[in-house]
Chains A and B, each alone.
Chain A
Amino acid sequence: MIKRSFFALTKPRMAYKAIEMTPPEPKKISTPKQATLFLNEPYTPFDQKKSVQFKKGDPVKTGQKLSLYEDSDAYVISSVTGIISAVSPFLGDFGRSYTAISIDVAENEEIDEQFSALVKEPTMETVKNWLAFIPGNLPSVIFSPDQLSTPIDTIVICGVDQDLLITTSQHAVVKESKAIKRGVKILKQASGIDNIIMASSAHLMQDAGLSGAEVRVVDSVYPASLPHLMMRDLLGRVVPAGKSCEDLGVTFISAEAVASLGKAFNDNQIPVYKCFTVIKKDGTSALVSARIGTPISDIFATFDITVNEKDRIILGGPMTGSSIYSENHPIQPDTDAIMIQDQKDLALVSDYPCINCGECIPVCPAKIQVNMLVRFLEAGKYQEAADEYDLYSCIECGLCSFVCVSRMPILQYIKLAKYELGRINTAEETNV
C-alpha cells in the first residue's frame, strides 16, 4: 500500500507500473479440472417459453460457441473441451445477472472447426458472431453500430493499463506487436473505421508504433489512462457530464483484445488463453497466462499464495477493481489482474462524517467538490447531488477515497448514487 508521504504539501503522485523492455514470458497455468464461463444473459429457463440450447451432460469442444437460446445474441466460446457439469444463474455487481456454465474438462482436447471455416474473409459478421468473447474483450458497440445515436468514428487501442501495478496491456504491446498489427488491419477492414489510435506510455512508443496505428502518449501518473481523461488529453474532446465516450463516437479496446483478434485470424482458431497480472500479498506482481474460465484458486496454487480467511481477493487493480467472495471465481475475458491483500493490509472504511479537510479537492481529476457531494450522497439526496455538485462528472478513479482522512467510501457512494438514479430514470421512462 502506498502511504501518505511525510511531506504532504503536494498531492500524491502515483505512477503506473512500467513493464520492462524485455519482459519474461507469462507463466502458463495448466488447464484446470473445471472451467466456468459467464454468459452475459440471465438464466431464467422457467420464465421463458424457449428451450435452452445446452444442458448438463452435453459435450463441448474448445472454441465451440454456446448461447442460451436459439435467437439470443449473447454467447460464450468454450475455452476447454469437456462435459457441461452445471448451468446456474450468477449475480454480479450492481445486480447484473449472468448464466454460469461449468465444464468438467476432458483429457483430450478437441478444437471446434466452425470458426476456421469462416476465417478466410474477416467481416464484421464473423467478428460479431465468433470473437466477442476473446481474451481482452471486444466492446459490443463496434459490432452493432446501428444501436448508437452517434456512429463510432474513432477506436482507441489502450496500450496502457487502467490501474496501478498492472502490466497486462503493456505486455501485449511489447510481445504481440505482430498480432496487434494484423488486428488493427482487421478492425479497419471489418468496421470501416479508419481513425484508429494507439494510446501508449512514453517508453513503449516504438513497440506501439509497429501496430500501424497512430500512436499518442499517455501520461504515466494515475489516473491518466482512464477513458474520460484519455478522451480529453489524447483526442482533445471533453465528454459532457453524464455521457459516455461512445456517445461521442469513440470506443476503447484493450491492446490484448486487438492482439487476440489478429491471432484468431492468423492461427485460424479462437484464442482461449487470457494474459493477466497477479499482484501478490507483498505487492510484487507477475504475468500469467491461463485459459478463460480457470478458477482463481488454481492461480494461487501455482504461485504458492496462501489464502486465509478475511483476506481480500480483487479482480482488477487496487484503485478500480472489484473484490470477490469466492476462490472459485473464474478468469474472465476482461480480467486484467488478480490482486490479493492480506488481512492485516486491508484499508477499511469508517462511518465517520466528512471533516471538510479538503484533501479530495486537489486530487480530483474531474474538479468535483467532493466534500459537498459526499454530504448529499450520505443523506441519500442523489438528484440534488447530480444537479448541484457534479455527480455525473465523476470518472470513478477512486483518488478521493484513497486520500480521505475520514476514510469514507466516497467512490462507493458515488457509484451507488449513479446506479440508483439510473434505476429511477429507467422506471420513469418505462412508466410513460
Chain B
Amino acid sequence: MFEQKKFTVSHAPFWHNGSSVSARSYNIILAALPAVLFGFFTYGMPAVGVVALSVSSAIVWELAFNKISKRPFSIGDGNAAMIGLLFAMLLPATSPWWLVITGTFVAVIVGKQIYGGIGGNPFNPVLVGLAILTLSWKDFFDFNEVLVNYDLSYPMAYPLASLKHFGVFAISNLKPAALLVGQQSGGIGAIFGLGLIIGGIYLIIRGYIRWEISLSFLAGVCVTALLFNMADPTKYAGPVFHLLTGYTLIGAFFIATEDSSSPVNFIPMLIYGAGAGIMTILIRNIGFYVDGVVFAILIANLINPLVDKIRPKALGKVV
C-alpha cells in the first residue's frame, strides 16, 4: 500500500466522442467564411474593417465581462468570436466603428453574458444586438442610404426595400440566379446565397446545427410567400425572391439555429422554425419593417421554452 501510484479516478462513462464547444464554434465560423469572403470581395476594405472590428470587439467585451464578474475566461471556446462574425455579416459594409462596438457590446453582454454566459441566453445574442441597433439608429441600417457610394455592375437598390416601397414591378428585373451568386446589396455576409447554402449544408452534415430548424424555417418562408403570391401576384413577390434576399438564408442556417435559444425536440423544432419563417413573411409583406427575419426569430426565441415542452414520454413514465 506504500508508495502507491496515483491513478485518475472519475465517473463513467470513460469514453467521449471528442466533441467540444470550441470545435462547434470554429466550425460555424468556418462555414460562414465563404459568405464573408464574398462580402470582402464585393465591398472591399470597409467590409474587412467591420468584420475585424466586430470579431475583436466581441472577444474583448467577453473578456472584460469575465474579468469583472470574476469568472473563468471563456473566450477560448470561440463563441464570442462567432457572435462577432455573425453580427458583422448582418451589418452594412459602411457601418461606423462606434456602431459595431456598441452592437457587439449589446450582443455579448446584454444578449449573452448577463444571463450567465453560454447556454443561458433566452434570445439569440446577435439578434439582440442587431435589433437594439436597428431600433436606435435605423438610418444606419437603410442599405440604400448607406451603400449609396458603391457602384457595382448590378442594381444596388436593396431588393426588399424596393419591394416594400415600389411593389413587385420594381423587382421584376432581378434574376434568381443573380441573387443566388450575390449580385444584390445587403449585409456583408448575407448577400452570397450560394455560400450560405454551402456553409449550411456543411453544418448540417457535420451535425453542428439542427437541420429540422433550418428546413422548417425555409419551408415556412416558402409556403407563406407562395400563399401571399397566389392571393395577389401583383402585390406580393414569390417564394424564390423571399428566399434569396435579405437575411433569409443566413437566418435559416446561422441565426435561427443558435443552440441556447432554440428547441431540441423534433416537433418543437419544426414549430419553432416554421413559426419564424411564417413571421418573417408576415412582417415583410404586411408589417412595418423591410426585412422581418430579425424580429421573427426573436419572437420564435420567445416561444422556445413553451414549445419545447412538447416532448416524447420518457421510458416508464407513469402519468
Chain A residues at the B interface, C-beta cutoff of 8 Å: 1-4, 6-9, 12, 228, 232, 238-243, 307-314, 316, 318-328, 339, 341, 343, 346-349, 352-359, 361, 365-369, 371, 390, 392-393, 395, 398-399, 401-407, 409, 411-412, 415
Query: Interface residues of A: mostly helix, strand, loop or mixed?
Result: loop
Chain B residues at the A interface, C-beta cutoff of 8 Å: 1, 4-21, 24, 77, 116-120, 204-208, 210-211, 259-260, 262, 264-265, 311-318
- Of B5, B207, B317, the residue contacting A241 (CB under 8 A) is B317
Closest chain A residue to B207 by CB distance? Answer: A8
- Of A316, A319, A390, the residue contacting B314 (CB under 8 A) is A390
Write out the residue numbers on chain B whose beta carbons fall within 8 Å of the beta carbon of A405.
19-21, 24
Complex-state Cα separation, A277 to B77, whole angstroms: 39
Tell me if B315 and A241 are in contact (CB < 8 A). Answer: yes
Tell me if B311 and A369 are in contact (CB < 8 A). Answer: yes
Q: 29 pairs across A/B with beta carbons < 8 Å?
A: A4-B17, A4-B19, A6-B206, A7-B206, A8-B208, A242-B316, A243-B316, A309-B5, A312-B14, A316-B12, A320-B12, A322-B12, A324-B7, A341-B14, A348-B10, A354-B119, A355-B24, A356-B262, A358-B210, A359-B207, A367-B315, A368-B315, A369-B264, A401-B12, A402-B16, A403-B17, A404-B16, A405-B21, A406-B119
Tell me if B316 and A228 are in contact (CB < 8 A). Answer: yes
Complex-state Cα separation, A2 to B17, whole angstroms: 6
Complex-state Cα separation, A402 to B260, whole angstroms: 20
Write out the residue numbers on chain A whose beta carbons fall within 8 Å of the beta carbon of B21.
352, 355, 405-406
Closest chain B residue to A320 by CB distance? Answer: B12
Write out the residue numbers on chain A whose beta carbons fall within 8 Å of the beta carbon of B117.
353
Tell me if A241 and B318 are in contact (CB < 8 A). Answer: yes
Write out the residue numbers on chain B whose beta carbons fall within 8 Å of the beta carbon of A399.
13
Q: How far is the CB of A317 from chain B (nearest CB, A)?
A: 8
Write out the residue numbers on chain A whose beta carbons fall within 8 Å of the beta carbon of B118.
352-353, 355
Tell me if B312 and A353 are in contact (CB < 8 A). Answer: no
Tell me if B259 and A307 are in contact (CB < 8 A). Answer: no
Q: How far is the CB of A102 from chain B (nearest CB, A)?
A: 11
- Of B4, B20, B262, B264, the residue contacting A407 (CB under 8 A) is B20
Tell me if A12 and B314 are in contact (CB < 8 A). Answer: no
Write out the residue numbers on chain B whose beta carbons fall within 8 Å of the beta carbon of A309.
5-7
Closest chain B residue to A326 by CB distance? Answer: B4
Write out the residue numbers on chain A whose beta carbons fall within 8 Å of the beta carbon of B211.
9
Q: A353-B116, A353-B118, A355-B260 are in contact. Are A367 and B314 (CB under 8 A)?
A: yes
Write out the residue numbers on chain B whose beta carbons fall within 8 Å of the beta carbon of A371.
264
Write out the residue numbers on chain A whose beta carbons fall within 8 Å of the beta carbon of B207.
4, 7-9, 359
Complex-state Cα separation, A361 to B316, whole angstroms: 17
Q: A356-B119, A358-B259, A361-B265 are in contact. Are A314 and B14 (CB under 8 A)?
A: yes
Q: How far is the CB of A267 from chain B (nearest CB, A)?
A: 36
Write out the residue numbers on chain B whose beta carbons fall within 8 Å of the beta carbon of A412.
11-12
- Of B8, B15, B24, B77, the residue contacting A310 (CB under 8 A) is B8
Complex-state Cα separation, A319 to B14, whole angstroms: 6
Q: How far is the CB of B293 from chain A (nearest CB, A)?
A: 21
Tell me if B264 and A361 are in contact (CB < 8 A). Answer: yes
Complex-state Cα separation, A406 to B265, whole angstroms: 19
Complex-state Cα separation, A242 to B318, whole angstroms: 10
Tell me if B264 and A1 are in contact (CB < 8 A). Answer: no
Write out the residue numbers on chain A whose beta carbons fall within 8 Å of the beta carbon of B314.
241, 366-369, 390, 393
Q: How far is the CB of A9 from chain B (nearest CB, A)?
A: 5
Closest chain B residue to A346 by CB distance? Answer: B8
Q: How far is the CB of A109 from chain B (nearest CB, A)?
A: 27
Write out the residue numbers on chain A whose beta carbons fall within 8 Å of the beta carbon of B311.
367, 369
Tell me if B13 and A357 are in contact (CB < 8 A). Answer: no
Q: Top 8 closest A-B pairs, CB basis?
A: A8-B207, A358-B264, A347-B16, A398-B13, A366-B315, A412-B11, A390-B314, A393-B314
Complex-state Cα separation, A364 to B305, whole angstroms: 20
Write out the residue numbers on chain B whose beta carbons fall within 8 Å of the beta carbon of A355.
21, 24, 118-119, 259-260
Write out the residue numbers on chain A whose beta carbons fall within 8 Å of the beta carbon of B12.
314, 316, 318-323, 398, 401, 411-412
